[in-house]
Amino acid sequence: MSEAPLRFCSVAGCRALTRGGACPTHRRRETQRRRSAGAKHLYGHGWRAARRDYLAAHPACTACGAPATVVDHRRAHRGDPALFWDRSNWQPLCKPCHDQRTDEGDFGRGRADAAPHAGRRVVVTGRPGAGKSTAVDTQIVPGDLVFDYDRVLRCVVAGLEDTTQNPTDLIPLGEALRDAFVAFAARSGTRRSAYVIAANPRTAQALADQLGASLLDLG
């Protein structure tokens, strides 16, 4: 079954990509709001002391090995005190890995087997001026991989400012750099997210197929 197309977050003004509804950040905020409202009485002094002792005994994130800062509930406790205090339901996580679990809906679905997901792969296409670079800029975080043909040319061609009229003799260079980028992202096993901008819809679809990526068509 094919995946649903990417769309912008349903929260007004948010440009994050999602396959439906709110983006991970807004879903996480809503999850935290509901959890705080429904289980506020559980997160008192007793929890803070238990959390401190647990992290002292389990200092490493079980997902990535980084220093753990969060005691995560493997299964969503939904305010159930027995499940909340069941230490076999706890695991130490760093904040990024904990946020990834939340982004994937683990609190909402009560999954017990979650792990950080591999970096996303997205190919963005659209007519000139559709906002392709802006759409990518709203998604990326430090360390993500981005291939933007116009920006690449500005890096390799001295004095090039107007990329609306890219030199046609450099098209083979741009395609070679793009293909090397895609090959690296597809085969290297990197967990970094990778974004590719391609103006031609047919080329964009071919790149998405090669990368196993989602295709965002801005029209």
Alpha-carbon span 153 to 131, nearest angstrom:
18
Q: Which residues pair with 91 in a beta bridge?
A: 72
The DSSP code sequence of 134-174 is: HHHHTT--TT-EEE-HHHHHHHHSTT---GGG--GGGHHHH
- Among 64-73, 116-125, 193-202, the minimum mean pLDDT is found in 116-125
**pLDDT (0 to 100) of residue 49:** 93
24 against 87, higher pLDDT:
87
Rounded alpha-carbon distances, angstroms, from residue 43 to 35, 36, 68, 162, 214:
10, 9, 18, 56, 39
Alpha-carbon span 132 to 64, nearest angstrom:
32
Beta strands in 37-167 (DSSP E): 70-73, 90-93, 121-125, 145-147
Is the CATH number 3.40.50.300 carried by domain 118-217?
yes
- Give span(s): CATH 3.40.50.300, the chain: 118-217
The tens digit of pLDDT for each residue in 146-188 reads 999 888 888 888 887 766 667 788 888 889 999 999 999 888 7
Alpha-carbon span 187 to 215, nearest angstrom:
19
**pLDDT (0 to 100) of residue 110:** 36
Q: Mapping DSSP to helix (H, G, I), strand (E, B) and coil, where does residue 111 land?
A: coil
